[in-house]
Structure 1
Amino acid sequence: MKSCYLTRPGLLCALGADTDTVAEALFAGQQQGLVLEQGWLAHDHNAAVRVGRVAATLPILPPAWQARASRNNRLLLAAVQQIMQEVERCKQRYPAHRIGVVLGTSTSGVDHAEWALEAHAAQGQLPEGFQFEQIDLGDPARFLADWLELTGPAYCISTACTSGSKALVSARNLVQSGMCDAVITGGVDTLCRLTLNGFTALESTTSELTNPLSLNRAGINIGEGAAVFILSAEPGAVQLLGAGESSDAYHISAPEPEGLGASAAMQAALRDAGLDETSIGYLNLHATATIKNDAMESKAVDRVFPHGVPVSGTKGMTGHALGAAGALEAAFCYLSLTDTQGRLPPHCWDGVADPALPALPLVQVGQQWRPGPRYAMSNSFAFGGNNLSLILGGGA
């Protein structure tokens, strides 16, 4: 099978509006992007909700593209603009029909629909210019392919919190199968009332700073963001070495309590990469700071890594970006793998360990890679027992 490599990503999230800014904020453990906002919750518009907000000014699309100008597509375009030099080089090297676009999303332009339905309720009709296409889950990939004038396979994957990770795996499959020479891949999701109210109804959110693995953890801060790579067989700094997936189908929204599906995904990723657990030098946890997720993931990691591995949950800095989370966290692994100072992403929490959870070696600010080859794993777990682990290798 062809080896597949990733270019340096374009990304923006609550940590910053470009890759370099995000990297410095990530390694410093900054949480300033997790802000309190009102007006999100249907039952109480005055209630403050903590969200991971992208504060950047987003691109304005030309008039001819206004029917595609959802916030989600503009977030995506802001990430892609950061890697346009690599995109143009890719277009010069490969025919347009040999370049694919595969993205993960769970919201697409749902916020655009919320605005339109609000106008309909007040005025009795949908606003002029509203386009249903913007809220279709496949729109981000089609939009980007059209924008870049690419004619290869273009589609979105929407599997809740594994969407962004699955997009990278699907992109690898396209290259290894010979269907594409290169794929623009990653994830994008936007803050919207549907997801904030939904997770609040599940009693999974908190207005406090999200606090993964803590005895005091009380839930998620929902976030937004985009991360985009070019994946191809052209050798680069970081290789997508392995992927492991499982579907335990334990419950529609609750994880299997012992983390058996999560363990199976991590073990499958190790087999796919041809590595054993002692090779992994850093693990990015899913770590949502919900009671059940952190309990099962701690058990699963302790089971797969009996000798320990440095771990952190980066949602304490970004919020949970849902369909974009897996791609964002793969990007964080990329930044760490290639960091010339050897820094690892720290774990942000209150430092109060839950005695009911296995103790994991949590990364501190300033902690570095151990000497030797660098291999990172990143976990993503979603509703319905949908589990995925990625392994990336390479770096400085």
Structure 2
Amino acid sequence: MDFTLEHTDATSNARAAHLQTAHGSIQTPIFMPVGTAGSVKAVQPRELKADLNAQIILGNTYHLYLRPGLDVLETAGGLHPFMQWDGPILTDSGGYQVFSLADRRTIDEEGVTFRSHIDGSKHLFTPESVIDTQRSIGSDIMMVLDECPAADVSEAYARSSNERTVRWAARAKEHLANTAPRYGHEQAAFAIVQGVTYPTVRRASARALVDLDFPGYAIGGLSVGESHELMYAMVEVVEPLLPPHKPRYLMGVGTPENLLENIARGVDMFDCVMPTRNGRNGTIFTTEGRINITNAQWANDHSAIDPGLDNYASQYFSKAYLRHLLKSNEILGLQLATHQNLAFYLWLMAEARAAILADRFMPWKDAILPQITQRL
């Protein structure tokens, strides 16, 4: 993996960069569509690339480990050929799933013991086994195992948890150096900065992980219940401590506002289920504003879903038709809504990059946010 910082905006900390992986190049800032179980819901891989110009997608180690299982992925030659996606893939370590399965897991120094949400079977994730699992998946960028504490834990717990996360990161890096990719292409591992909303813990986490010298760094444990203001404050705490010549990934974030505000603070990479999940439930993001397409006001609106985007879902189908499909529970409605929302998110990242390269990110952001966040 090679990361080249191309330009830093004159009006903010926003960055434009180029990230080269074995399966292709990525221009940042970038949003990664979430394909948790090897599929971005309701979108074919060829649509992701040809129609939406998605440059990288995300898979999840926890879910892929449980289903279809490593034996299937290994006989397929990894996730890339299994799902017919030849672009870059980043895999989350499963740390967030550990957080979300509080009643099904226990954490100790060895790792995380949990019960499957599918059949209740018992499993153990360690820093080493999570690397091995991602070797079998074949992702281009792997996340090390971490603990993602709840937003309301004490500072003492946050400190203890983070110290263990750092020890796990060191174990993961050592194991990474002693193993090889299964499918002949390079795999990079990112460490994950934790610390909840405690600045001293966040700083300690960032400093310790930077000392371990990973190829890239994620900021985890945000967008888990804290306010947006606290999220931004924690990014501001961490950003100056992260190496400027390495990529920065804010995990699980978020709304269009969140993306632009965190780009301004120096973040390069994002993922979130919001565009796909919200689309399936009738919330449509457009270049003109946000729409609840199931509202009656759209029943006879035959204008394009989004005249500002140049793709077939946005241009060639009407708001009335999309509303009809979703109200009728037609599968095509899920496809078009998802297509539109991902097209919008990826357009927003491309526009942000152009503004950074032109040294006008902040004025552009301040002008575009009221437009795209208004409710139509």
| Alignment TM-score > 0.5, same fold | no
| TM-score bracket relative to the smaller structure | under 0.3
When normalised by structure 1's length, the TM-score is: 0.27
